[in-house]
Structure 1
């Protein structure tokens, strides 16, 4: 309905509260939780010392509506435009799926390619990537390889603000989208915090300090435990 320009308003997003004893017990079986007792070194995506992630609670909600409908109600300064989306699935290890790669960067790269095509964009149009940043060495390597294949080695600034507040699960991707839209508005890339030192082998231009730079288009990546991959392109709106 929004794509058709209907005068509809959609509230979308997500939140999660994964810090209860039962929820933490369930998460502990994934092998992805950090075992570090030092909060400053517990969640280090793309770092040589990466050892898992730290869960967090929270999320974000967004109001989506057609541009004409927003103008009609006087919303003359939108945060941005949802320009394109792509989603794919990695089969779990040990399962067979024709034409799909298991536990690698191929399916994530395909999600990125679908999102770019949906947005009518090419890799060179992307000014910053908000990474999934699992903090698990194997997953980080796969994501970094995907980024290098699509954008070239260190070909695009990459950031993971979630390293400062934890992975929010269902709330994480919506909050990354909000953060990306704010970055486009303020023309600054928020950093990956907590002293992350990027592994040179990942070939990722990881932003570790606020970086003021012209920003027009951002790519937000999200990977779900179990194999789901999502890529969303957001674009600044000028009026």
Structure 2
């Protein structure tokens, strides 16, 4: 008998950093946190807008011993994990430590921490470099620190797949439940907006150079000219269906699939449609049963057009409402998919499809029904899509 994966807790670090419910309200209001970089002088860069978390002070919410040994992204992850576990009431479930685990995704590691320590190495001396540099930079730091903080000693892991990695982490957590785990903290976050990290974003050639925050990241818009990097993401608590009855349930992770595109120039088509169809089959639902799609929405015309073609191919032209609420926070790399999953769960709970902010004109030949204002609807099945640079495609199906 298959084991169902129930979402019993959610934690969000995005936008104003005030948690899942506050973020959900802001999403429905169409708020945006895309603004000029404010942590340093970014005037010399070609792009200067980013989706930034406002007002986050790690020292106010984390033990003082953790702050000097962690990068900003790990601090965000620790706070999101605290929120998700408290929301799930996991401390009262009585699980053995080895029945619980952590699987996260991080696409960029601890940029800011390493940037600071390498500056010490170059400008001062090797003995001024923090001993915590040995691990604070690493992709697995979030998983490790959450595991240590909460005593989650079972199955653990970290996945790196750019924008698609966060959904892959949730898919892996679901496998862990099927292999005997009782509770898994999963999802993803990223934060790489320091000068080193920002240079890596800009050098990719896909970041919008717009000066107006309302015109910078426009997924599926005729005026789209690039994406806007952001920071943050979400973590979820997944439990086995039999145990999850003791807690409130946001929904089920009913289906998941991932594919990898062939190399450019091969002449072979991309595989996003295959990932979508495999996820639907895994969930046991048909395209006609899907009520909403949370699209990847790259904000890059060629990629938007390709994704729109896939949606029209699988669901029919205009066959399902499509939304990209992360247009208000930016492209969050590993954090994007999990944040969309949380938004999808709350959309199903409240019966409302959140809007795609800023978008005004969708080309008619895209053949998609892009939601640009909150839309009331009975929602039972939601699909979340994520695509990463290098050919990663992931699809996740959420059901009531």
Q: Give me the TM-score of the superposition, normalised by structure 2.
A: 0.55
1:27 alignment partner in structure 2: 201
* Partner SS, residue 178 of structure 2: coil
Match of 2:358 among 194, 202, 205: 194
Q: Quote the Cα distance in structure 1 between the aligned partners of 2:333 and 2:360.
A: 21
Specify which structure has the higher proportion of helix. Answer: 2
2:395 alignment partner in structure 1: 231
How far did residue 197 of structure 1 move? 2.3
1:178 alignment partner in structure 2: 342
- Root mean square deviation of aligned Cα: 1.4
Please tell me whether residue 3 in structure 1 is matched to residue 167 in structure 2: no
1:56 alignment partner in structure 2: 230
Q: Quote the Cα distance in structure 2 between the aligned partners of 1:115 and 1:7.
A: 22
Question: Counterparts in 2 of 1:126-137, with a 5 A limit?
Answer: 126-137=290-301
* Partner SS, residue 201 of structure 1: helix
Instruction: Say if 1:32 and 1:17 are closer, same or farther in 2 by CA, change over 3 A.
Output: same
Once the two structures are superposed, residues 54-93 of structure 1 have per-residue CA deviations (whole angstroms, 9 ceiling, x without a partner) of 111101000001111112xx20x30000000111111331
2:117 alignment partner in structure 1: none
Compare CA radii of gyration and give the structure with the larger one: 2
Alpha carbons 2:220, 2:359 under 8 Å: kept: no
Match of 2:251 among 65, 68, 80: 80
* Partner SS, residue 173 of structure 1: helix
Q: Quote the Cα distance in structure 2 between the aligned partners of 1:224 and 1:207.
A: 23
How far did residue 3 of structure 1 move? 3.2
Q: Quote the Cα distance in structure 2 between the aligned partners of 1:147 and 1:43.
A: 20
Matched pairs, number: 225
Once the two structures are superposed, residues 167-199 of structure 1 have per-residue CA deviations (whole angstroms, 9 ceiling, x without a partner) of 110101010001001100011000001243222
Q: Quote the Cα distance in structure 2 between the aligned partners of 1:27 and 1:93.
A: 21
Alpha carbons 2:221, 2:359 under 8 Å: kept: no
Q: Quote the Cα distance in structure 2 between the aligned partners of 1:18 and 1:50.
A: 23
Q: Quote the Cα distance in structure 2 between the aligned partners of 1:154 and 1:66.
A: 35
1:16 alignment partner in structure 2: 190
Alpha carbons 2:251, 2:398 under 8 Å: kept: yes
Structure 2 gap ranges (5+)? 1-175
Please tell me whether residue 38 in structure 1 is matched to residue 209 in structure 2: no
Structure 1 gap ranges (5+)? none
Alpha carbons 1:128, 1:156 under 8 Å: kept: yes
Q: Quote the Cα distance in structure 2 between the aligned partners of 1:79 and 1:58.
A: 21
Q: Give me the TM-score of the superposition, normalised by structure 1.
A: 0.91
Q: Which runs of 4+ in 1 moved over 6 A?
A: none
* Partner SS, residue 2 of structure 1: helix
1:169 alignment partner in structure 2: 333
Match of 1:66 among 221, 228, 240: 240
Once the two structures are superposed, residues 193-234 of structure 1 have per-residue CA deviations (whole angstroms, 9 ceiling, x without a partner) of 124322212111000000001000000000001110000000
Q: Quote the Cα distance in structure 2 between the aligned partners of 1:151 and 1:70.
A: 32
Q: Quote the Cα distance in structure 2 between the aligned partners of 1:110 and 1:195.
A: 28
Q: Quote the Cα distance in structure 2 between the aligned partners of 1:134 and 1:120.
A: 28
Alpha carbons 1:86, 1:114 under 8 Å: kept: yes
Please tell me whether residue 155 in structure 1 is matched to residue 319 in structure 2: yes
2:306 alignment partner in structure 1: 142
Alpha carbons 1:7, 1:69 under 8 Å: kept: no
